Chains A and B, each alone.
Chain A
Amino acid sequence: MELADQIAQYLVSGLSTGAIYALIGIGFAIIYNSTDIINFAQGELVMLGGMFTLFSLNVLHLPLPLAILFAVAAATAVGVLFERLTIRPLKSPTPLALIIITIGGSILIRGITMMIGGKDTHAIPAFSGSEPILIGTATILPQHLWIFALTALAITANKLFFEYTITGKAMRACAVNRRAAGLVGIDVKRMVLFSFAISSALGSLAGIIVAPLTMTSYDVGIMLGLKGFCAAIIGGLSGGIGTVLGGLLLGVLESLGAGLISSGYKDAIAFIILLLILFIRPQGLFTKAQTERV
């Protein structure tokens, strides 16, 4: 294999992993943009997507499309319940308290899943076969195309929702200034609940669609969540193209780093990028400082 061919494969592999990170990153961004919370339980919702699909396939014996719907519904219910039981009752919702709550929540969700579902890793069948597709000399799997398509769909729908619907605008208003939003008659608590519902649905959908590639177990959420968070940070926590570019960039750098430098430093590369961006450009790579997000 010539070097050029190798680099082509690194790029393709990087883009396909990057799309996964991007999809998960958008979930972080949505909650952040309407509530100012970084929801560290987002990774667990990704995990729940995969685990609920597995449950409905193997225990309820549903066909795949129904299993996916069931899994998204169930994970969304968990997300909503999570908001109701932990975020809403808080008397003085300081960002620090909220973040710590989401971390606690993620450990709880992971623990319960382990108790009920066991510690084994499980495979989920690919949506449309696993015959590799050739792109030049590089190969990807049909499942990667599903991921690309879903990511594109998710950011478009997201953009439309936040720009052009009343609810979307109301949610953005809550992020800009909670009190002011409340004063003009926006039901802030409802908007927070909405944002949790949307990001849970999106997170679980991401979990479902990546599960045939990454397999699923109670603890896949940790690493996927962290990588998604990196993607969101690189993209300046924007709910749109920024996070997607962030995810793709992260995926490509990881893959090139593993291929051209050393695979031992693959994860280190991701987290060094994260730290550098937090130090140098905390507003993200693609946004100007202090501009409106979304």
Chain B
Amino acid sequence: MSRGRPGRDDSPDRLYTLTGGRSSSGSDAFDLVTLIVAECDPVPGMQSEHAAILRMSRFPTAVVEIAAELGLPVSIVRILLADLHGTGRISARHPRATTYRLPDLDILEQVLVGLRNL
């Protein structure tokens, strides 16, 4: 498989095929930093992108990291994730701070402590 930039260089037809023609996951359920965790191993016959997602998310892996590793646009990855989530093959740990307003002070304090410990 090409190690170039599949998302950018491949024909739109390939992306269309990956998602069965869908261009939207119908929800914004998966934030860029939602952490995905596989709930099962890949099984034979599974779509290769689905299998790859299950392999790379044995430990929590952000949506954006999955997109980067697959070399696919985030919007396409969201659709693939929705498929896997709908069949219970992955679970999603959503960010707790994705409100538009400022995050609570507890979270900010945790961030600050973590940064200072770098």
Question: A and B: real partners?
Answer: no
Report which A residues bind B (CB closer than 8 A).
none
Report which B residues bind A (CB closer than 8 A).
none
